[in-house]
Amino acid sequence: MTEWIGTANRGFASLAMEELRRVINGIKITQLTAGEVFRIEVPLSREDMLDLLQRNEPIFLRHIQPIDRILPIQGNADDLQALSDLVRHARMRCENVTTAVHYRRVEGTRFPYSAADTKSVLDAVIMELGSETTMQSPEQILSIFAGVDELYVGWGTPAEQLSDWPGGAIRFQREEGQISRAKFKLLEAERAFKLYLEEFREALDIGAAPGGWTHLLLERGLRVTSVDPADLHPSLKAYPRLTAMKKNASDVKFPPGTFDLLVCDMSWSPMQMAKLVLEKTDALRDGATAIITIKLMHKKPLQTIRDVIARLESSFQLKKAKQLFHNRDEITLYLVKNN
């Protein structure tokens, strides 16, 4: 028997729970933060649970933290002392390994310290043990979740926790002149799917306006064909590698094998989106990559997702389906065109 803390995008925890219940018999779930964070008890070892998640990662589970220790909250300096002692007793974990300290809390917790204060104290203890702390690409993460009356503490690698950001909430800094926040979705997809956008050459952006995804692809050096009846942001005219087509995508034809990347982030119904993408299949090279968002506007999102994927698999292999932190009422699909 092992215990964990799961996190989903706000409002989507019920779907993450449903996915877990479908693959784990005897699972018990308790809500910690309404619609977002929940405590899990499973009749599986740590190794079996991690193996299950690696083989069949849920779409809506954004982050998972093992609960290795539970500490009662005293509401005073004894809490930080207890955490410091816990880290000192885990000296072997810290040897020759870079460590990040992640802290989150529920509203109304009795734990009186901020994330910055908690991290400052524990970073000092970890360095005292001769290890290094880091915020970027740690080899392991010490995760602390403060409930109302208890601290849930667990160790794991970024891969085991599904993210190297606290709670899987990846943050990007807004840039001067940024066209839209939609850019963050494609940046996160690149990281989540282990892609390198600069390795592609010819991209097709369907439903591009105002041009957040187009802009990022141009910044990475790609030639981009954008299709949308609405206007792109005027700043994009400065890129000679952009071909902007002010048309509906269904009215545009391209020579076979033109593109090695297709991206699409449109507010269409899921099945219309699948139909539109399939219409452009011939314009893609064999093995081309597609990154598309699927809007969850129906009452049965899991069934909708299965239906859309089944339809797309006539021409594509699904590599991963995930609700990313920067997705709203949608998920992102990573697909590769069949040869």
Active site residues: 295
Phi, psi of 203 (to 5 degrees): -115, 145
Residues 6+ apart with CB under 8 A from 335: 289, 290, 291, 292, 312, 316, 317, 318, 319
Q: 29, 20 in Cβ contact below 8 A?
A: yes
> Cis bond leading into 210, ω under 30°?
yes
Q: Rounded CA gap, 9 and 7, in Å? A: 7
Instruction: Give CA separation, 23 vs 5, 41, 52, 101, 202, in Å.
Output: 17, 14, 9, 30, 39
Q: Which two tokens stand for residue 71?
A: 């500490």
Q: Which two tokens stand for residue 303?
A: 């069934």
Rounded to whole angstroms, the maximal C-alpha distance in the chain is 69
Q: Is 276 helix (H, G, I), strand (E, B) or coil?
A: helix
